[in-house]
């Protein structure tokens, strides 16, 4: 059994600690956030911290590292109030990962990594054409996490696009049919295989498999 206590965690080399701690919370979502500066330069950045916040109203959130270095994504979101969220699929993992390189502020990561800006009326912020599921979002708020200076950014979901034929009748979207990937640690990627859905849990009965994997 590997065991790390608080002291051992604190004394680890920082890169090792970052890989370990980033791994153990479990699988992560894997999305590209698209923005546009007020002078028209497109920006694209990979995030593995996008989470569901609520359905009514429809909102998501993501964690941004401390603002001690340039954060084009956040600056652009504050300027325009808008961003897109684009799922990373298995055919675009390398290009998506490459958006994490520190390009200059005047460089569009779309061009640099070879992904395609897509504008869909009425949204003037770019989606990623190659992405199978994309959302247009509006900035709502952000929360400063005092413990380490990170921000939790909250956005409302105002536009959703994905191909026909990937939903269950009750609204559930089969991400595996879109080849959406999951994140592992800082730099790992995985392709999930669907196992099934389980019925609403009640104390008096055991869960029933609603729909098997294919």
Q: What angle do CA 80, 110, 108 make, to 5 degrees?
A: 60
Q: Which of 38, 81, 91, 168 binds a second copy (CB under 8 A)?
A: 168
Residues from 89 through 118 that contact a second copy (CB under 8 A): 90, 93-94, 97-104, 107, 112
Task: Indicate whether 180 belongs to the interface with a second copy (CB under 8 A).
Answer: yes
Residues from 1 through 40 that contact a second copy (CB under 8 A): 1-6, 9-10, 12, 14-31
What region does 192 belong to: left with phi over 0, alpha with psi -120 to 50, or beta? beta
Continuous segment of H or E residues that includes residue 84: strand 82-87
- Nearer to a second copy by Cβ, of 67 and 160: the residue is 160
Contact yes or no for 84/137 (Cβ under 8 A): yes
Chain centroid to Cα 146, Å, comes to 22
The tokens for 85 are 């969220």
Least distance to a second copy from the beta carbon of 27, Å? 4
Least distance to a second copy from the beta carbon of 65, Å? 9
- Nearer to a second copy by Cβ, of 48 and 76: the residue is 48
- Nearer to a second copy by Cβ, of 38 and 72: the residue is 72
CA distance 85 to 140: 15
Least distance to a second copy from the beta carbon of 50, Å? 5
Continuous segment of H or E residues that includes residue 31: strand 31-36
The tokens for 166 are 């990937």
The tokens for 162 are 């994905």
Size of the site for a second copy (CB under 8 A): 113
Task: Indicate whether 68 belongs to the interface with a second copy (CB under 8 A).
Answer: no
| Residue closest to 128 by CA, chosen among 168, 89, 158 | 89
Task: Indicate whether 212 belongs to the interface with a second copy (CB under 8 A).
Answer: no
Task: Indicate whether 74 belongs to the interface with a second copy (CB under 8 A).
Answer: no
Q: How far apart are the first and last CA of the chain?
A: 35
Q: Which of 11, 68, 121, 171 binds a second copy (CB under 8 A)?
A: 171
| Residue closest to 178 by CA, chosen among 189, 158, 192, 188 | 192
Residues from 181 through 200 that contact a second copy (CB under 8 A): 181-182, 184-200
The tokens for 205 are 């009965």
- Nearer to a second copy by Cβ, of 67 and 195: the residue is 195
Residues from 113 through 152 that contact a second copy (CB under 8 A): 133, 135, 140-141, 143, 145-148, 150, 152
Least distance to a second copy from the beta carbon of 179, Å? 11
């Amino acid at each position: 059994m590997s065991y790390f206590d608080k002291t051992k965690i604190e004394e680890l080399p920082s890169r090792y600690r970052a890989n370990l701690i980033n791994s153990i919370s479990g699988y992560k979502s894997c999305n590209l956030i698209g923005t546009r500066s007020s002078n028209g330069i497109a920006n694209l950045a990979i995030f593995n911290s996008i989470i569901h916040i609520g359905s009514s109203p429809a909102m998501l959130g993501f964690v941004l590292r401390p603002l001690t270095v340039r954060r084009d994504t956040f600056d652009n979101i504050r300027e325009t109030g808008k961003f897109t969220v684009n799922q990373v699929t298995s055919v675009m993992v390398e290009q998506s990962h490459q958006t994490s390189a520190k390009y200059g502020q005047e460089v569009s990561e779309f061009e640099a990594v070879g992904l395609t800006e897509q504008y869909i009326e009425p949204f003037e912020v770019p989606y990623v054409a190659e992405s199978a599921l994309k959302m247009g979002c509006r900035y709502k708020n952000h929360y400063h996490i005092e413990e380490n200076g990170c921000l939790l950014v909250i956005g409302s979901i105002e536009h959703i696009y994905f191909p026909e034929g990937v939903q269950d009748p009750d609204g559930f979207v089969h991400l595996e049919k879109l080849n959406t990937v999951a994140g592992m640690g800082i730099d790992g990627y995985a392709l999930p295989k669907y196992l099934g859905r389980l019925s609403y849990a009640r104390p008096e009965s055991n869960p029933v498999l609603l729909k098997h994997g294919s």
